[in-house]
Structure formats: C-alpha cells, structure tokens
Amino acid sequence: MFELSGIDVRYGAAQVLWDLSLTVAPGEVVAVMGPNGSGKSTVLKVAMGLKRPSGGRVMFDGADLTQAPATARVGAGMSIVLERRRLFPRMSVRENIEIGGFVLPRAEIRRQMDWVLSLFPELRPHMDATAGRLSGGQQQMAAIARGLMAKPRLLLMDEPLLGLSPALQQRVFALMREINDRGVAILFNEQNAKLSFGLSHRGYLLESGRVVLTGSGTQMLDHPEIRRVYLGEAAA
Amino acid sequence: MTEMLGRRPALTLLLLIAVLAVIPFVVTNPYYLHVLTIFLLFAIFASGWNLTLGILGLKTLGHHAFFALGAYGSAMLSHYAGVSPWATIWVGAGIAALAGLLIGVPILRIRSMPHVAIVTLAFAEIIRLVLANLKDWTRGELGFWGIDAMPALNLGGTVVEFGTGKPFGSYLLALAFFAGVHALLLVVLRGRIGLTLVAMRDSELAAESLAVDLTRWKLGVFAFSAAIVGLSGALYAHYIQILTPTSTVGPEMLVTLLAMIIVGGVGRFTGPILGALLLTVVGEALREFGDYRMLLYGGIVMLFVLGAPRGLAGWLALIGRRRAA
C-alpha cells in the first residue's frame, strides 16, 4: 500500500535521514519510534509531501508520489495529523474540521463530518467554540477529526500523544484502534516505546536518521535493546 | 471566522449600506458629499488591500501601485482611445490584476515578511517613477487632467451625472460600487475560500497538509485583491478627473491607506470600512490646521493604535462580547 524506499533527506548541509525504507500494508498500524532528533517527524513529512527527499522513492498504491505535492497525496488517500495539532486557533472547531474536507465535494462534507463526529462524541458540545480555547486533549481529538475528513486510507500521525495526560493518551490510543478497525491504515511516530509498539502491528526504531531495528509490535517490545534503552529495564 | 467577519456580517453590511443610501437625500452640502464619496472609494481600496495584508497575512506595502495602475490605465484608455469609462474601469481593474500576478510570482518565493514589504514598496516606487517619467503620455507631475467623467445615466427619466462638481451622482455611483464590492467580498469570505485564507494565514504547513495549493491560492488572492484596488483607482480617476503620480502612488497614499486598515482593524471585514470613514473625515477636518495637519493626523492614528490595538472593529466586537456576557 505505502512504501518509502532508500529515502535520504537533507536540511541544508545536514543529512537527517539516511537510506530509510519502510512499508505500511492495508489495514496496518505501524509505529516509528526513536529519541528526539532521530528524524521521526521528517519521515512523516516526507511521506506527506511536506518535505522533498534528496534521494529515494515514495510509493502509494503502486503510484510513484516522490515528486507529488501534498495536494496530490491527499487526493490519493493520505492525510496527516501534524505535531502539536496545528489547529487554526481562531476558527471554530466546526470550521477546523470542515476544512479538513478541502478535497471533498461540498455535498459530501456534511456526510463525512457526521461519520467523523461519530468517533468523537466529546467534540459535539464544543463545535462552535474557538479551537484555541479547547483543552489539549480536545484539541488533539479535533486535529484527528480534521485529518479524517479527507477520507484517508492511510492516516499519518505525528506524535499524537505529545503533551497529553496518561488518561488522555489511553483515549487517543483507543481512538486510533477504532479508526484502524474502520479500515484506515495508520503510520505514526512516538517516543514512548511501550505505547508505540503496544498498539502497532509493526514498528521501526530510528536512531540518527537510520532504521536500526524493525519487527512486529511484540517483537519490538521483547527486543533486549529496546527493553534496556527505551523501557529502562536492567540488562539480564 | 467570527473574528474576521464579526457577528451577522450580512446584516451589518446591509444596515450600513441603507444608512449610506439615505445620506445624499439628507446631506445637501456638496463638500460633505465629496468627502463621503472619497471615503467610499478609499473603503473599497482598503478592503481590497486588507484581503492580502490582513486576511491572507502577506505583508505587502505596494498596493497603492495597483490603485495608480487602475487609475491611469482606465483614464488613459478612455482619454486616448475614446473608450467609455464604463468599460475602461474594468480594464483598469484587469491591468492591476495582471500586475498583481506579475509581482506575485517573485513575492511568493520570499519567505521573510520584511523582505516582502520592501519588495512591494520598491515595486510601487518603480510604478511612481515610470508614471512620472512617461511625460508624453501621463504629463508627469504636472498632472494628467481632462479625464472623462463616467457618462451620465438615464434612470427612469432622471439623468444622473458623475464626476467633479456632480456630488449626488458621484456619491451614489461610489456607493453602488462600495456595496457591490463588499457584498462580493462577504460572499467569498463566508464560504470555503474564507476558511482557506484564514487557514493559510494561521499555519501554511497545516493548510498545505490539507491539500491547499499555497502558490495558486496566494497568486489568485493577490490578483483579486489588486483588481479591487485597481477598480477603486479607476473610479477615483473618473471622479477626480486629474491624476498625478505622487497623489496616486506617493508615500502619503501609502501611509493614509495603511493607517485606515490598521486603525479600522487588520484582517477584519468591517475594519477597513471603519478606518476609511474615520480617517477620511478626520483628514478633511484637520485641513484648517494647515502645516500641523499631518502632525495631528499622525497623533490621532497613534492614539487609536495604542487605545484599540485590534482596531475599531476589534474594539467594537469586544464591547459587544462584554455586553452579551
């Protein structure tokens, strides 16, 4: 369904991703985990066409989208929930969600909004509130709702748990499962190994812009290196 | 969107137009009608500029160039080619739109807003110098006089005349264009286009991630904005009937119109209208102070900026919210 192969990315003279490859199969949840500065967010930006790679290929449903802008990728069935939500703070929640369906015909927006809000009943009382006045958790829900408006088959989520309380993190994870159950594949990144690999079918561990480990969610959680470095367990 | 459009913007606009429509039947002093005609034309100018400056968030400082291009384009075409001003005003708007597209392409490559401001300011200065030096065509700073007034209209047996010395007709014509342009702006801004512009202003990355083609949208809005400003320039030319490069694209025009937008409320639909009304009237009222006029004008602008940093429209919205609470 989705494939990054041999991706190199540079910011000026600094290279931040090196020969990176990953895949997402239909209906899969895939996590990209790594410490700060490992290039996790850049992976998602490249996937969405918000950052051009200096080398490598981006494929989606057999089409080469390497040079395609974000506009084309949304049309092809991809969508992203950006880091720190990036809601439009002066628009209402309704408007924020509505503009997520930018590529949809007008008649379809209402139908899709009804579908999206069935996932987020907690947003209904706040639809006319300004997005900037929502709590962090509500903002994250609104951002995910916005991301789902374009009817994606692959949803990219950049640090969806950032800044949320443990209870809200669990709520967002439950939502991600529900979204996935409705047939949407998810590629997300996260710093918390236990949460990332606990939810995902497969995972990738990134260090300094390179994939250093990959496997199923369970394999990743059981890997001694991850247990030692990222879960803080003492070496046997 | 409520912040940009205010509450019940259509009703507000309708009431405003209704009040303005009554004025020429109540106010008979031709000088007052002249001042209000200038207010209406500058309100169109300021609202057009506000589209890029406030609503899209592009810090452009050269929109007075589009005003001059619209004014000179329409005036010269009607004067030299004998085309009716009813047609040339649209050509003037078109020339301004085309210039907007041409300057828009390099501007969109610039990420830094101070640089955008400088480049657009330089563009306006180039237009001023070109107009000042094409003396065979524009008569430079001596002034391009003898511009045709808009031809009279026969409305059900009543002949309505326009141009200098015809305050009643000129006022009604300016009001008709004021109403048309603002109704069009409201229709455009209320829908998906308005949402898209606010999205681009608040986060280009987020807007792009939602499939907004930033370059196409910015260019389109820039050209539309330039066209509105160009149209106001064309109407101004056929009303005042004399143009000079300094009076249309000089620094005073830049400062005056920028002050109208800032004092009225940057990025708010009613802001430029309120700013244009206040500062046109204040500017005229201060004429009796002679050399001290601009000093007092600047002081009043500073007072408003300090007292109501979100502009008159923002201040009125705040009062409305406090009353509702």
> pLDDT value at position B165?
87
CA B300 to centroid of chain Cα atoms: 21
CB-based contact B202 A102, cutoff 8 Å: no
Chain B contact for A103, CB < 8 A?
Answer: yes
A95 touches chain B (CB under 8 A): yes
Q: What is the pLDDT of residues B72-99, one digit of tens each?
A: 999 999 999 999 999 999 999 999 999 9
**pLDDT of B144:** 95
Q: Please report which confidence band the pLDDT of residue B2 belongs to, taking 50, 70 and 90 as the band edges.
A: low
Q: Does residue B1 carry a pLDDT above 70?
A: no
For residue B108, give Cα distances in angstroms to A69, A214, B53.
17, 41, 14
- Give dist(CA B267, CA A186) in Å, integer: 37
B324 lies within 8 A of chain A by CB: no
Give me chain B's average pLDDT, please.
Answer: 92
| Per-residue pLDDT, B32 | 93
CB contact under 8 A, B1 and A146: no
Structure tokens at B173: 């014509």
For B3, name the nearest residue in chain A, comparing CA atoms only: A90
Q: What is the pLDDT of residues B287-324, one digit of tens each?
A: 888 888 888 988 988 998 898 888 998 888 888 888 87
Find the helix or strand (DSSP H, E) in which B122 lies.
helix B113-133
Domains and CATH numbers, chain B: 2-324 (1.10.3470)
Strands A154-158 and A14-24: unpaired
Mean pLDDT in each 10-residue stretch from start to end of chain A (236 residues)? 91 89 93 87 92 92 90 92 85 90 87 88 87 84 90 92 82 87 91 83 90 88 83 64
Residues 6+ apart with CB under 8 A from B222: B52, B56, B58, B60, B100, B101, B103, B104, B107
Measure CB to CB from residue B210 to each of A89, A91, A99 and give the nearest one.
A99
Least confident interval from B2-11, B216-225, B250-259: B2-11
CB-CB under 8 Å, B208 with A150: no
* Residues B210, A102: C-beta atoms closer than 8 Å: yes
User: Which residue spans of chain A are classified as CATH 3.40.50.300?
Assistant: 1-77+152-236
Do B209 and A75 lie within an 8 Å CB cutoff? no
Q: pLDDT of A20-56, one tens digit each?
A: 999 999 999 999 988 888 888 999 999 999 999 999 9
Count of residues in chain A: 236
- In chain A, residues with a C-beta closer than 8 Å to the C-beta of B209 are 48, 50, 70, 74, 79-80, 82, 86
Please give the average per-residue pLDDT across B242-248, as a whole number: 94
* Structure confidence at residue B58 as a pLDDT band (50, 70, 90): confident
> DSSP string covering chain A, please?
-EEEEEEEEEETTEEEEEEEEEEE-TT-EEEEE--TTSSHHHHHHHHHTSS--SEEEEEETTEE-TT--HHHHHHHTEEEE-TT----TTSBHHHHHHHTTTTS-HHHHHHHHHHHHHH-GGGGGGTTSBGGGS-HHHHHHHHHHHHHTT--SEEEEESTTTT--HHHHHHHHHHHHHHHHTT-EEEEEES-HHHHHHH-SEEEEEETTEEEEEEEHHHHHH-HHHHHHTS-PPP-
ipTM of the complex as predicted: 0.85
Flag whether residue A77 sits within 8 Å of chain B, measured between CB atoms. no
Terminal Cα-to-Cα distance of chain A (whole angstroms): 39
Q: How far apart are CA B300 and CA B262, in angstroms?
A: 12
**Residue B275 CA from chain centroid, whole number:** 11
pLDDT of residue B181 exceeding 90: yes
Task: Say whether B211 and A89 touch across the interface (CB within 8 A).
Answer: no
Other Cβ atoms closer than 10 A to B209: 30
CB contact under 8 A, A90 and B209: no
Q: How far is CA B165 from CA B16, B149, B159, in A?
A: 25, 10, 15
Domain A1-77+152-236 has CATH 3.30.420.40: no
pLDDT computed for residue B293 by the predictor: 86
CA distance linking residue B210 with residue B4, whole number of Å: 21
Cβ–Cβ contact A229 with B under 8 A: no
